[in-house]
Structure 1
Amino acid sequence: MKLKKPTEISVKDIGKGYYEIFYNSKKYYIALLRVLRALNREKQDDLEIIEGLRRAVESLVRRSKRGFTYSIVTTISKNGALTYIAILGKDKSVIDREIEVVTSLIDSMSNGNITLKHSKSGIIRPKILVIPLKSRYKVPVPELHKIQPEVVRVPEPLIKPIHNGEIYLGTTLSTSYNYPISLKAEHLFRHIGIFGSTGSGKTTTASIIAYRASLKGMKVLILDWHGEYTNILKKGKDKLSIFTLDATKPMSINELNINELISKPTELLEVFEQVLDLSPAQLFILDQVLERGSRSLRISPCWLKSLVELVAVYNAESRWSIEARDALYRKLKYLAANIHCSSSSNIKTTSINDHDITVIDLSKVVNTRLRTLYALLILKMLELSAVEHGILTDLLVVIDEAHHVLPSRTSEVTGIARKLLAEMRKWHIGFIIVSQSPSSTSSDVLKNTNTKIIHAIKSNIDKRIVVDSIIIRKELEDTIPYLKVGEAIIVTPEATEPIIVRIDPRPLINIEIEGSLSGYEIELE
């Protein structure tokens, strides 16, 4: 078949992945072989895959003289771009044998990087318009043809436990029907970990959960590291109260009382040890200063600057204590230099319970250490408020870029993560922990987040850290680096098998889920 102008061709699906094509009163048969990245390869280079495909095309060009026509076809639909090798000939039985030959040829020419899968029926419409394209290459492999990893089929009964939740996430992939997937409120209080490389869709997923949780009556507090959440949340069509606080400006939240925290030096010491990497000697001196100066710090309009002054006048007698005091002073002074202080009369007071969603924007705090200090102080104050006074309503806390706030460096830091995640749930406080670097995040985050949402992870180290914390099949694990933006693997305690889900990309709206799985006959694959 040689086409020189746009031509309409009639197509008949005859089953088992074959089609009859009628053109100029002649009948042809065509079979489609899906082009996929082989899953048994530890590391694949895109250039190597493209080069392998080019070598395979050159071989197919030589074989085309045997009475076959080969084409590389990319179909574009709502599911993305899918690429096939089409084998066209006049004898169906001969095409059967050619499928085996071409499959073996592609595997050999691509060094095992590409595999072919005979596709099922229903891909080609009854009538298609074929438009011939010219190329300046002798043997073209257009960039349009995108080779994806092989899709892993998920046993459908495993979807049932996370189908009827209150917080809609999206729909399943790799199943015969796109089942809606939702989270229950109990998932939030048992904490959620969202992991993925930059640009994989983590922030959008966290925003979706936070937004839809607030529609169900939960209060939400977001520690926004990059200042992205407010703009995403405001796309929602519901009339939610979204209150954003600039962390660089004076603020007062009733549930976050710094004076209560200052009166408990042990809690403050944990925070400063992480932020400033304090030595034991520096910790000892800071402990002494906090114990002796607690009252004066509580009444100070700028307690951190007052703390620097108290350290400066600390009576150090021995050589080691003088060196430790001076080093501590330099570290604290560097932090305090970036603090803006204001009298209490200029500070506006609000409450988490006054708004549906409260966003604390940390992005304008230029100093990363100070940004981490702010985030940890907020979490510590929230912990004290819950323990001492209780939270009046269910609260969901989103910690963005958690590898900065809850890193894996020291045991003291790990203790902060453990207490937050293991103890706060009894006060009806749930956490969404968002991180692009699981390997740099406290191990207690992985241990204590019972629901994990895994977007595309490119780093082998980060992928290994996450995979080691869950039970997952090897073929599903291999798809993690190739997940598209907005696609994620969902792991929950109820589902014994991780599930690939496309997070709903529509604007943030309250979506009511209709229907259930009870109407479907489900069989194990």
Structure 2
Amino acid sequence: MKPIIKYPRQEYLARFSGETIDIGEVINSKIPVKASIQVDTLTHHTLVVGSTGSGKTHTVSIIVNELVRKTSKYKVLIIDWHGEYMKLINRAEYLEPRRMPLNIIEHNNIYEFIELLQDSLGLTPPQVYILEKIFENKKYMINNIYDLRNVLENIEDQGSWFRESRLSLLRKISPLTRDGLREVFDAYKDKIIDYINICENPIIIDASRIQDPYIRRIYVSILLKKIFKEAVKRKVWSRNKLLVVLEEAHNVLGRNNYIGIVARMLSEIRKFGVGLVIVSQSPSQLVDEAMLNTNTKIIHSIKSLNDLEVISKSLYLPLNIEKIIPYLDVGEAVLYTRGLKKPVIIKVKEI
């Protein structure tokens, strides 16, 4: 049975500059007051965490809808891991991965591609070595993942260790070439960047349409890498910003299975106009960069002691607020963002 919780009387000590979006109301404040986030802080990344059913998806939907309603300065891309957002986001453009295929192999960034495969597939050093040698010697024979598989199948072995590593590497890469995935990983040219720039409405990429979570993780990782690369090299979002919602973020930013390229970019990408909304059930499963590089944190109900410890250390929560977090109702959350002097408990508004 849920104990009777007495919410502390709260002061909303805020000093904001520029545009803000309202996401709800402060609970038990001395006077009725809206809970707001500065629009400019969104490029400094946002963390939304909470147990299943605590209201994370609803909160993210409020942020996106209010942002689009308030300003035209942001593009929005939602990477929807479970296919939950289509009915929640106003005037959204819905895409399946097959409608937005990715060019997985780029000859001018082979080592980045190999690193991405290393992180995504858990490649061993000998397997990385084999990939490097293949691209050094047969670079122009490989234009897609299917060509890479064929080269691996036919390359001459250089000893028992080479054969063992090659066959293991082949087993890891082969799932990417299954029937039905050619349309996902075999694009001659990426279309996603151009589509983001010309589309006036929020874009939802329904990653759940890739049924295998293993393949889904690779698709999302490659998509993020391409977005980051475009932001840094071409500065395409220096004027009109881009907000990327990353659902189930522990799949690419997990403490034990993170994608190195994505984790490193967290501290750099905000300088180029791209903000991430990192959404996860468990903050303790996320890499440290996800906690350190998010200026806005929205904490829904969390019951795990490990998760509570991570959040408490990150926000220096007062004990009276920390004790309430496991008992927050659906849609209630602790909010801390730039401009607030201390965290407050809020009720997120309805869509």
Normalising by structure 1, we get a TM-score of 0.61
> In the aligned structure 2, how far is the partner of 1:294 from the partner of 1:166?
50
Flag the 1:197–1:366 CA change in 2: closer, same or farther, 3 A. Answer: same
Amino acid at match of 2:281: Q
Gaps in structure 1 of 5+ consecutive residues: 1-45, 47-145, 235-239, 508-525
* Alpha-carbon distance in structure 2 between the residues aligned to 1:292 and 1:161: 59
1:172 equivalenced with 2:17 (yes/no): no
* CA 390–163 in structure 1, closer or farther in 2 if over 3 Å, else same: closer
What is the CA-CA distance between 1:483 and the residue it aligns to? 0.7
Q: Give the Cα–Cα distance (whole angstroms) in 1 for the partners of residues 312 and 138 of structure 2.
A: 47
For 1:195 and 1:482, how far apart are their aligned partners in 2? 15
Decide which structure has greater helix share: 2
CA RMSD of aligned residues (A): 2.4
Taking the aligned partners of 1:212 and 1:421, their CA distance within structure 2 comes to 24
Quick one: percent identity of the two aligned structures? 33
Q: Distance in 2 between matches of 1:381 and 1:262?
A: 14
Query: Is the Cα–Cα contact under 8 Å of residues 94 and 204 in structure 2 kept in the other structure?
Result: yes
Relative CO higher for 1 or 2, CA cutoff 8 Å, sep ≥ 6? 2
**What's the counterpart of residue 219 of structure 1?**
75
For the pair 1:183 / 2:37, whether they are aligned, the reply is: yes
Shift of 1:478: 0.7
Q: Is the 8 A contact 2:119 2:259 kept in 1?
A: no
Tell me the residue number matched to 2:339: 494
Q: CA deviation at 1:317?
A: 0.7
How far 1:482 moved relative to its partner? 0.6
Q: Could you tell me which amino acid in structure 1 is paired with residue 294 of structure 2?
A: T
The Cα of 1:379 is off from its aligned counterpart by 0.5
Letter of the structure 2 residue corresponding to residue 161 of structure 1: R
User: Any conservation in 2 of the 1:487–1:500 contact (CA below 8 Å)?
Assistant: yes
Equivalent residues in 2 for 1:73-112, closer than 5 Å: none
Among 172, 193, 214, which residue is 2:47 paired with? Answer: 193
Q: Which amino acid aligns with 1:154?
A: Q
Match of 2:100 in 1: 251
Instruction: Please give the alpha-carbon distance, in whole angstroms, between the structure 1 residues aligned to 2:126 and 2:176.
Output: 19
Q: Counterpart amino acid of 1:328?
A: L
Q: What amino acid maps onto 2:30 in structure 1?
A: S
Structure 2 equivalent of residue 452 of structure 1: 297
- The alignment covers a number of residue pairs equal to 343
Q: Does 1:332 align with 2:188?
A: no
Q: Is the 8 A contact 2:221 2:262 kept in 1?
A: no
Distance apart, 1:378 and its partner CA? 0.2
Larger radius of gyration: 1
Partner of 1:351: 195
Stretches (4+) displaced over 6 A: none
Q: How far does residue 316 in structure 1 lie from its aligned partner after superposition?
A: 2.8
- Give the Cα–Cα distance (whole angstroms) in 2 for the partners of residues 250 and 443 of structure 1: 34
Identify the match of residue 87 of structure 2 among 231, 246, 250: 231
Amino acid at match of 1:449: T
Partner AA of 2:235 in structure 1: G
> Can you give the 5+ residue segments of structure 2 that lack an aligned partner in the other structure?
none
Q: Give 1:250 shift.
A: 4.2
Partner SS state of residue 79, structure 2: strand
Shift, 1:424, TM fit = 0.7
2:187 and 2:17 mapped to 1: Cα distance? 50
2:58 to 178, 186, 204: 204
Structure 1 residue corresponding to 2:135, chosen from 283, 290, 293: 290
| Matched ranges for 1:54-453 at <5 A | 147-156=3-12, 158=13, 160-161=14-15, 165-215=19-69, 216-217=71-72, 218-234=74-90, 240=91, 242-247=92-97, 249-251=98-100, 258=104, 261-298=106-143, 303-337=144-178, 339-342=180-183, 351-355=195-199, 356-392=201-237, 393-409=240-256, 413=258, 415-453=260-298
- Cα offset, 1:172, TM superposition: 0.2
Alpha-carbon contact 1:335-1:369 (below 8 Å) kept:
no
Give the strand-richer structure, 1 or 2: 1
**3-state SS of the aligned residue for 2:329?**
coil
Pairwise CA distance, 1:196 = 0.4
Letter in 2 for 1:454: I
Distance in 2 between residues matched to 1:386 and 1:294, nearest whole Å: 27
Give the direction of change, closer, same or farther, for the CA distance of 1:488–1:164 in structure 2 (3 Å limit): farther
Under a length normalisation based on structure 2, what TM-score does the superposition of the two structures give? Answer: 0.90
SS of 1:232's partner is: coil
Q: CA offset at residue 468 of structure 1?
A: 1.8
Q: Is the 8 A contact 1:417 1:445 kept in 2?
A: no
Tell me the amino acid that sits aligned with residue 363 of structure 1. Answer: S
